[in-house]
Chain A
Amino acid sequence: MSSSTLPLLFINLGGEMLYILDQRLRAQNIPADKAKKVMNDIITTMFNKKFLEELFKPQELYSKKALRTVFDRLAHASIMRLNQASMDKLYDLMTMAFKYQVLLCPRPKDILLVSFNHMDAIKDFVKDTPSILSQVDETYQQLIEMYTPLSSGEFQLIRQTLLIFFQDMHIRVSIFLKDKVQNSNGRFVLPTSGPVPYGTQVPGLIRVFSCAGEEVSRLQFTNGGNYTAALREGSFEIFGDRVTKLGTNMYSVSRPVETHMSGTSKNSAQHTKVNTAPNPLAKEELNLLAKLMGGLEVQKTGNADSGFRVNLFATDEEEQEALISRPDELSYGVINIQATKDQQANAELAKIMGEFTESGDQSPCSSSKGDDLLAMMDGL
């Protein structure tokens, strides 16, 4: 499908991740200087020039597994640590939030406005740090350059590609349930009321014309909804009012971030894994991943004492429980870069990447090498 989807997926998911981490850092009363360091480190890594260069190249979307690996890495770009259960929950929240935004976008082109909302918030997180700020500004330019020339049909193709990525995900998010934007079966509420998208008229009129082009009759019909006229168009420039609220920060210290695991097993029968490993094509994906990861330089933890763990759950016991009770079909099956093994895991990963760049290219037995690599990564 669209080969221009990955940057939007990454930036929006990254934005959601930052909203959630910011909320958790505050909820856990992490000292302001440490919290700021974490946010700055992650944002610096996210907007690393080499990394973004790779990201913006035309390419197919990564599998869920591969993308999750990238975010695992990103979340650990600083002194903060997350246990697997917390990382799983973080990823669930990020993906469901962006799925919601993509579905509710009035026009496909509005996905770009959602992306700008995330970018605007990220810019605000780093407004005191000029070096990171300039990286963020450059990324605005790249987004504008790449996406503003696209037609509405091309945006719809991007949206359809994203919807395939999010297909069949119905994890219930507490904040969505409370706000009544998600039903108890995990499906989002799609209202048949409110403003129509920019460029669309409120439905209800049939106009008939003569062969000469004059209107000869107008008939109205009941549209079955409660629509109002479109709002003004949001801004597609570096600065401006985006108009849409989709993509803005919906969390605050008082609104907790919970997900419900139960009840989702009903959907397991319909859970088709589109990209199942092992698969020789995954080797290509690993190639790309290795190149991307090469750009994700992990912060060296100079002082062991400065590191701390963030919990996405209310208590450690809850986190433990969540790890044990997570349904199989919802496991992401990725490399687990866990706190204690991080040094070793980094070494392994570095070795893999080194191996890859050394040997470099396609040889007849490269498919078996791909299998080995997958096995190695799974074993970490």
Chain B
Amino acid sequence: MYHKEKSIQIKNSASSLYNNLSVQRIAPRHLTYFTVVHANVVNMVSASWDGLNYSHRQLQSKEPNVATSTSLIMQAAFCVLPSRDLLVVTSQKGIQMYESDGSIMVYWHALDTPETPTAQAIFGRGISAVGQNYICVGVSSGSILVFDVPSKGSNITLSEVLEEHNESITDLASECSGSQECIADLVSADDGGNLYVWKSGEEFQILNKIAGFDMTCSSVKLWKGTVVAGYGTGQIRIYEAVTGILHAEITAHARWIYSLDIAPFSGLLLSAAEDSLVRVWHLTLTPETNSVEVAHLHNECVTDTQICGAKFCDGDGYAFAVTGYDLSEIIRYTQT
């Protein structure tokens, strides 16, 4: 179903972090951007579609006005809003937002870090664009920061802080189907496997809470009102967002799941874990009967690699890319 393409070499190896690959397709310029985090550096590659041109850039987690800092980065993700695209980077010290080519930093938000370290680690993790003009970022305390992003310029403001989760946020996802009918537009996941479903607005509203089972939900997606969640036990669970009804449960992987992705136009689901496997599934939603069908389509084994990032490169799922711990390349697969 898929075959391996030529890999893209990156300047550093990928660190073992959840969802450690972000992909953005720039159709008008026939380019795709990739970001992979290595310790305190974000490796960015811009790849031309004809496979002939690659350009690299590295971003460091430095706060402005401080001489030096070694702050480890937890996640880097592209946020696509109707008016603009930004690259958001979260670290132990705070949240940085760049123009999506990484050229200029447009905003910096510092996290409250105490003088002497405490037992509770402090960092940002979980990034998603939501609705027309919001970017949400999760924090290790369980808070979710909601930033209001104007259509241009750097006048980004912190609009709200959502304090519902009691455990560290692991991932955030917004409704990716493009459908205007879905009420829920954000789902947040935490270290206890708890999922909160939100409606965005000037004040975000909780639509539902789906209780966890004391196991980290490391990656989550929201598609056509359906939550797809991956857990440390290797399980994938599919819920109806607003009601919390469990549609399906898959014993998908033999180790901790690190990344999920959905191709919104085709309903293909990608899952990747520390067990070296990437799996492709197909989801069929039947609103009339409120049922979900799941079919397993394909496996790829990345030998001797603990996978930490896997994303589709386009909305149909024609191609996907994979990163692994200690691997200095982005491995690509395309449909045969």
Quote the shortest CB–CB distance from B231 to chain A (angstroms).
9
- Give the distance in Å from the alpha carbon of A58 to the alpha carbon of B119 in the complex: 5
If A208-B291, A281-B69 touch, whether A151 touches B250 (CB-CB below 8 Å) is no
Q: Does A192 contact B (CB under 8 A)?
A: yes
- Give the distance in Å from the alpha carbon of A160 to the alpha carbon of B14 in the complex: 12
Q: Are A3 and B119 in contact (CB under 8 A)?
A: yes
Q: Are B304 and A207 in contact (CB under 8 A)?
A: no
Please report which residues of chain B, range 272-315, place their CB below 8 angstroms from some CB of chain A when the two chains form the complex.
275-277, 290-296, 299, 301, 303-306
Please report which residues of chain A, range 246-302, place their CB below 8 angstroms from some CB of chain B when the two chains form the complex.
270, 272, 274-275, 279-281
Q: Does A167 contact B (CB under 8 A)?
A: yes
If A207-B249, A208-B293 touch, whether A223 touches B254 (CB-CB below 8 Å) is yes
Quote the shortest CB–CB distance from A6 to chain B (angstroms).
11
Q: Are B192 and A153 in contact (CB under 8 A)?
A: yes
Q: Which residue of the partner chain, among A108, A189, A199, A270, contacts B12 with CB atoms under 8 Å?
A: A270
Q: Are A199 and B215 in contact (CB under 8 A)?
A: yes
Q: Does B246 contact A (CB under 8 A)?
A: yes
Please report which residues of chain A, range 182-211, place their CB below 8 angstroms from some CB of chain B when the two chains form the complex.
183, 187-190, 192, 196-197, 199-211
If A163-B15, A190-B304, A192-B301 touch, whether A272 touches B167 (CB-CB below 8 Å) is no
Which residues on the B side are within 8 Å of A3 (C-beta)? 117-121
Quote the shortest CB–CB distance from A30 to chain B (angstroms).
37
Which residues on the A side are within 8 Å of B256 (C-beta)? 107-108, 156
- Give the distance in Å from the alpha carbon of A189 to the alpha carbon of B305 in the complex: 8
Query: Which B residues fall within an 8 A CB radius of A?
Result: 11-13, 15-17, 38-41, 67-70, 72, 74, 92, 116-121, 123, 167-168, 170, 190-192, 214-216, 218, 232-235, 245-256, 275-277, 290-296, 299, 301, 303-306, 325-326, 328
Shortest 4 CB-CB distances between A and B: which pairs? A153-B191, A221-B296, A153-B216, A201-B251
15 contacts between A and B (CB under 8 A): A107-B232, A152-B216, A152-B232, A157-B168, A163-B325, A183-B304, A190-B304, A192-B275, A192-B301, A199-B215, A200-B251, A207-B248, A221-B296, A225-B277, A272-B12
Query: Which A residues fall within an 8 A CB radius of B?
Result: 1-4, 58-60, 103, 106-108, 151-154, 156-157, 159-160, 163-164, 167-168, 170, 183, 187-190, 192, 196-197, 199-211, 213, 219, 221-225, 227, 270, 272, 274-275, 279-281
